[in-house]
Structure 1
Amino acid sequence: MRMSKKVAAILAGVTVGAMGHTLAASADSFTDVPKDHWSYEALDYLAREGIIEGMGDSTFQGSRAMSRYEMASIVAKAMQKGGGSFGDKAVLDKLAAEYAGELDTLKKRVAAHDKDIQELKEKADRFQLHGLARVQMGNDNGLKNDGYGGDYNNRFYMDLEGSLKVNPYATARFTIEKNARFRDREYLTTKVVRNDKSANNQPYIVERAVSGEDRDNANNDANHNGSISNIWVELALGKNHDWYTNIGRKWNGIGMQNLLLGGQVDGVATYHAIPKGKGWWFSAQYFKPSADWSETVETVKKNADGIYEVTDTRHYTNRAPVAAVLDFWGPLGKYVDANVAYARVIQHTLDENDLKSGFYSGARNFFGLDLKVKPFKDLSITGSIVKSDADVNKPYNNWAQNGHANRDLAVKVEYKGTDLNKVGSYGLYAKWVDLGCLADLGHDDEWATREPTGINGVRGWYYGFKCVPWKNVEWETMYANLTENTNNSWAGATTHNRRILRSWLDFHF
């Protein structure tokens, strides 16, 4: 029987000796096998075919004896190569029969290793972490107005998001957010005015400043102090597992620009593609926004000794309403997308005779409409409007600005956009807003210009750009020129202009 070059090379390799554990391109990689060695041609063929390997230190170590398991490994690799002549197959069959026991052992070892690797991969996939770390600087003259504090200009920030896969259709998720401020003027300072007068007939004013040690703690920044801020479960329900449902506390946005809702909520929401809806989806939601706010009122009176003392302390909580929402979104032709939402307050405790109880605005119904037009490949224009039935003429709304306090408007123009995997990608945007204080269910807007300054109306322009200087790193700079109102009229004494310049780097991981 005539043997081909491949079988001859295999048998030559057996005669020479050893095989190792790391791949080599050819015998040229073996420093201890000179080209004039009698086995060079056979070893070079075996190495190029991937049948024999070196020892990992650029040597072949052909002087030591080859074990039967090493020989069996060579035979197995040769058999995996396939092809060849009838003579090749006959010789390999004989070699396979000779080393059948070792080959069987090797197969079992490989199967065991594959199982271990698969189990390890499944365990690694069950728990995942991702998020971003932000370095941000800026200037904001709004921090100086009306005694309001702020912490969104100069800070180190991290958003850590984790998930634990329970089974193929259930995942538990959580978020941890941390703000670390590094500018002294952004310490939170509040002024508390007591009800009674002091001896010189002036109101009692109590300054309450937060120290550097306390400014990042839970009492002053409950959602950004490094504790777990959101916990929810994602489920894929239904016969086809296509009813995507969230249950728990999480950040939620409704509308293309999150005007109707953009903040933390407690509740349940399910999302489903409309059958034969040509790309349209709907969502049904039931939740309470985490937009409660509270205050403490102290009554101070002069006692018999002429000393002022606190005679009564009352705590009031203004709770956000429990709401139900229907939300629909999808394409209107090739160049237009739409979002239509309706929210109904189904639990409301406002008592007009007790202005300190219940949700502050008295609104029952909320409507939202968004349209996004893409006239060109890299250009999009998004317009959004939100309207509530809050009555601005009611006594409990007399603090709100006149006119359109129950309406939000926003128009955003975007050119191109960033791709974290594409270095050099960039985007430009401009946004105009006219935001009332009684139009939405809750807000935590993306640039923190409505919060935490406590204003009750914002209008003006934002301009910004973003780019990807390095993979998974995004640089964004934003400038805003806004008019804010803190009284009952845009022309009121406390209306002021706000100028904001911020720049930040986001490191995604």
Structure 2
Amino acid sequence: MKINTKALAILAGLTVGMSSTAFAATADSFTDVPKDHWSYQALDYLAKEGVIEGMGDSTFQGGRAMTRYEMAAIVAKAMQKNDVNFGDKAVLDKLSAEYANELGTLKNQVNKNTSDINDLKNKTDKFKVWGMARVQVGDDNGLKSQSVGNSWSTKTNGDYNNRFYMDLEGSMKVNPYATARFTIEKNARYRDSEYWTATKPVKDDKGVTHLANVPVTGELRDMPDQDTNHNGSISNVWVELQLGKNHNWYTNIGRKWNGIGMQNLLLGGQVDGIATYHPIEGGHGWWFSGQYWKSSSDCSQYTVNYDENGNVKNVDSFVRRAPVNATVDFWGPLGKYMDANIGYTRVVGHKYNASNPNDGYWYDTSGFMNADLSVKPMKDLKVTGSYVKAFTNQQGTYGHGDRDLAVRIDYRGTDLNKVGSWGVYAKWMNLGAFADLGHDDEWSTREPTFTNGVRGWYYGFKMVPSKNVEWETMWAPHLAEQITWNTPVRRHILRSWLDFHF
């Protein structure tokens, strides 16, 4: 059964109350309703109040007969109004009784749609994927490791200069207090001039084994056995738990990227282990962290043995295990414009043993102390200082091998949602040979350059040219590095990249 749209006049009258103030609107809600039409003001008001919507194309099409379901939908919206008088409510009650069946059907459909939407939301919330794709170009005159006897390879390292890179991250919600996480990273190197050579034993056409420099191309370096962390396979897997009575012991278990300190000076790399983070009750914003972990970057080495004629007799390979460590760390505010971090790490396993290289590679270091201080003297200016002290008897031949220092100055910063936002920074670093537990940092200040000391300034600029896109350029005009143990190198770096976040 269909009814004429003049029934809207009743609804208009009961909802608006025909008061003079109700028709103060001046804009047309529907282009096909003349201003001198008897229902113009009522329809304009009802549209602005959300009671009627028309046909979705700015027209009302009042000459078309509406279905009972369309009328029921209008009645349902009118019933949600709270400012109707007694007479209006009486008419609404009659209309709701007339369209009770249609209103019931609409309610059931709304409930079903709501259930379907909630079910879809729960499914999409259970699995999420996000990440970043990078296009990078650069130039670096350093990163050459010198040959020491026949055991070191001679190479130039282009991993962090000219590449296409992707970081894909995902989470799978197990329950409200447990989430499984993973990351996939991929480096695709594209500059032929940065191919390097690896020293390997090879046989000539007479079957005699010699050491030869075998080229390792960019394509080969993308293979799983050359770049285990950035070859497109799953590189990190861990779970995030919220433990305790109040679910505020935030705990990670598994393999993941981890950093210690404000500038990750002690550690900034992939680790295996467990870490828990907890806000200190009554601590005025301070947090505590306890961690038991091992760097996943064990050191593989080999020894070449020769016969009396100088030919390679055999090659003995072994793995020096990364140390197992226990860390306690505290951080929080010191007033309104200052933050601090302080921690201690104890080497508890795989300690260095000169008579057994498989026991570990971190020399005779027993532990580390790290401290950071960040100050905001101005609204857009932040200065961060970081210090790491290693408790070791070892000393590098270049600078202080038992300590790391870094000072970073940031002015303004970027916001991926704010096009045109920008920031600049300057950073000075003086890294010793034994004062940190490993890095895979963007600037190659440590791994994989095999340096035992580096110091100098880095300068950078970043901005957001488009939403979720960040452009950054970094320049290090003069770095002093100590390659192996006695060969100083002067190094300069210029890199620029675009990050596309999704």
Q: Is the Cα–Cα contact under 8 Å of residues 6 and 88 in structure 1 kept in the other structure?
A: no
Q: State the shift of 1:500 in Å.
A: 0.3
How far apart are the structure 2 equivalents of 1:339 and 1:28? 60
2:471 to 471, 475, 478: 475
Counterpart in the other structure of 1:506 = 499
TM-score (norm 2): 0.87
Counterpart in the other structure of 1:109 = 109
How far apart are the structure 1 equivalents of 2:13 and 2:408? 74
Counterpart in the other structure of 1:261 = 267
Q: State the shift of 1:355 in Å.
A: 4.5
Work out whether 1:10 is the aligned partner of 2:16: no
Counterpart in the other structure of 1:368 = 370
Q: State the shift of 1:156 in Å.
A: 1.1
Label 1:385 to 1:47 Cα distance change in 2 as closer, same or farther (>3 A): closer
Name the SS of the counterpart of 1:287 in structure 2. Answer: strand
Name the SS of the counterpart of 1:81 in structure 2. Answer: coil
Name the SS of the counterpart of 1:338 in structure 2. Answer: strand
Q: State the shift of 1:346 in Å.
A: 0.9
Counterpart in the other structure of 2:19 = none
Aligned 1:177-256 pairs, distance under 5 A: 177-192=185-200, 205-256=211-262
Amino acid at match of 1:444: D
How far apart are the structure 2 equivalents of 1:354 and 1:119? 58
Aligned 1:77-92 pairs, distance under 5 A: 77-92=77-92
Q: State the shift of 1:336 in Å.
A: 2.5
Q: Is the Cα–Cα contact under 8 Å of residues 340 and 368 in structure 1 kept in the other structure?
A: yes
Aligned 1:416-495 pairs, distance under 5 A: 416-480=412-476, 481-488=478-485, 492=486, 494-495=487-488
Deviations 1:411-458 (A, max 9, x none): 112222222222222222111111112111222223123222222211
Counterpart in the other structure of 2:292 = 286
TM-score (norm 1): 0.85
Q: Is the Cα–Cα contact under 8 Å of residues 351 and 362 in structure 2 kept in the other structure?
A: no
Q: State the shift of 1:73 in Å.
A: 1.3
Aligned 1:313-462 pairs, distance under 5 A: 313-355=315-357, 357-392=359-394, 400-401=396-397, 404-462=400-458
Counterpart in the other structure of 2:155 = 148
Name the SS of the counterpart of 1:456 in structure 2. Answer: strand
Amino acid at match of 1:342: Y
What runs of 5+ residues in structure 2 fail to find an aligned partner?
1-5, 15-25, 147-153, 203-208
- How many residue pairs align between the two structures? 472
Q: State the shift of 1:121 in Å.
A: 1.1
Q: Is the Cα–Cα contact under 8 Å of residues 188 and 215 in structure 1 kept in the other structure?
A: no
Name the SS of the counterpart of 2:450 in structure 1. Answer: coil
Label 1:326 to 1:42 Cα distance change in 2 as closer, same or farther (>3 A): closer
How far apart are the structure 2 equivalents of 1:496 and 1:11? 85
Q: State the shift of 1:154 in Å.
A: 0.9
Amino acid at match of 1:266: D
Amino acid at match of 1:423: V
Label 1:463 to 1:12 Cα distance change in 2 as closer, same or farther (>3 A): closer
Aligned-pair RMSD on alpha carbons?
A: 2.8
Counterpart in the other structure of 1:51 = 51
Aligned 1:296-315 pairs, distance under 5 A: 296-301=302-307, 310-315=312-317
1:165 to 155, 173, 177: 173
Counterpart in the other structure of 1:295 = 301
Deviations 1:294-317 (A, max 9, x none): 023332326xxx7x7643331111
How far apart are the structure 1 equivalents of 2:78 and 2:362? 79
Amino acid at match of 1:338: A
Counterpart in the other structure of 2:68 = 68
Name the SS of the counterpart of 2:80 in structure 1. Answer: helix
Q: Is the Cα–Cα contact under 8 Å of residues 10 and 42 in structure 1 kept in the other structure?
A: no
Counterpart in the other structure of 2:21 = none
Amino acid at match of 1:469: P
Label 1:190 to 1:401 Cα distance change in 2 as closer, same or farther (>3 A): farther
Moved more, 157-166 or 342-351: 342-351
Deviations 1:312-333 (A, max 9, x none): 3311111111110000111223
Label 1:250 to 1:407 Cα distance change in 2 as closer, same or farther (>3 A): same
Moved more, 452-461 or 81-90: 81-90
How far apart are the structure 2 equivalents of 1:289 and 1:402? 25
Moved more, 329-338 or 496-505: 329-338
Amino acid at match of 1:101: N
How far apart are the structure 1 equivalents of 2:338 and 2:83? 57
Label 1:167 to 1:142 Cα distance change in 2 as closer, same or farther (>3 A): same
How far apart are the structure 2 equivalents of 1:37 and 1:375? 66
Label 1:277 to 1:11 Cα distance change in 2 as closer, same or farther (>3 A): closer
Label 1:238 to 1:436 Cα distance change in 2 as closer, same or farther (>3 A): same
How far apart are the structure 1 equivalents of 2:57 and 2:398? 81
Deviations 1:44-70 (A, max 9, x none): 454444333333455545555432222
How far apart are the structure 2 equivalents of 1:496 and 1:387? 24
Name the SS of the counterpart of 2:307 in structure 1. Answer: strand
Label 1:65 to 1:426 Cα distance change in 2 as closer, same or farther (>3 A): closer
